Chains A and B, each alone.
Chain A
């Protein structure tokens, strides 16, 4: 069971918006930055969001991140079938001195 908690799955129709949550504690999300990754089967994970809400170059603005307290959120708007993937949040935990990943959320675009 992951220290960072994500819903196992979310789904929405093409063109719609979906929100993926990531819940942690003061030792991780509450006092450290959050990153988000997209992981398609058979490929390397891709960084979507870093520093809570920043996008690396090349990531479309359909992907956005935010953080409040000990929780973070990834929003994906204008859903496309190509967005079907597993999504992970990640943060440093100062108490564990370790990087933590959430358990992952499988996005299905209906």
Chain B
């Protein structure tokens, strides 16, 4: 059974930093594309950052230069280091697994329950 468990959320002041983790199990983590997706209060889903199946990294313009995605395949864990946090980064952050087949990855077929990040003074 695929499981994704996020952790690391909390309250942080503007300009501060936070690292989120996503512990994955039940699938081949090292070969799979993964992403972080967030939902701000009262807003829609917003893709934040992701790994492709080949290990390339991608970022939304809104977080480029401030967030850094990484993974530890020995721990089956995905991370996102969030620096220079802004009030508008306040959101529920989801870890999501890409649906991959034959090297093609499309759609997010498994999601965690999310971890809440609040940026406020």
With a cutoff of 8 Å between Cβ atoms, the chain B residues found around residue A104 in the complex are: 44-45
**How long is the Cα–Cα vector from A88 to B96 in the complex, in angstroms?**
15
Q: Is B108 an interface residue (CB 8 A)?
A: yes
**How long is the Cα–Cα vector from A21 to B41 in the complex, in angstroms?**
24
Known contacts A51-B107, A90-B107, A103-B44, A98 near B99 by CB under 8 Å: no
Interface residues on A, range: 20 to 34
**How long is the Cα–Cα vector from A50 to B45 in the complex, in angstroms?**
17
Q: Is B11 an interface residue (CB 8 A)?
A: no
**How long is the Cα–Cα vector from A51 to B100 in the complex, in angstroms?**
11
Q: Is the CB of B61 within 8 A of A96?
A: yes
Q: Is B109 an interface residue (CB 8 A)?
A: yes
The answer, among A44, A46, A47, for a CB contact under 8 Å with B113, is: A44
Q: Is A39 an interface residue (CB 8 A)?
A: yes
With a cutoff of 8 Å between Cβ atoms, the chain B residues found around residue A2 in the complex are: 44
Please provide the chain A residues from 70 to 110 with a CB less than 8 Å away from any CB of chain B in the complex: 86, 88, 90, 92, 96-104
**How long is the Cα–Cα vector from A95 to B7 in the complex, in angstroms?**
32
Q: Is A63 an interface residue (CB 8 A)?
A: no
Q: Which residues of A contact B (CB under 8 A)?
A: 2, 33, 35, 37, 39, 44-47, 49-51, 56, 86, 88, 90, 92, 96-104
Q: Which residues of B contact A (CB under 8 A)?
A: 35, 37, 44-47, 50, 58-61, 94, 96, 99, 106-109, 111-114
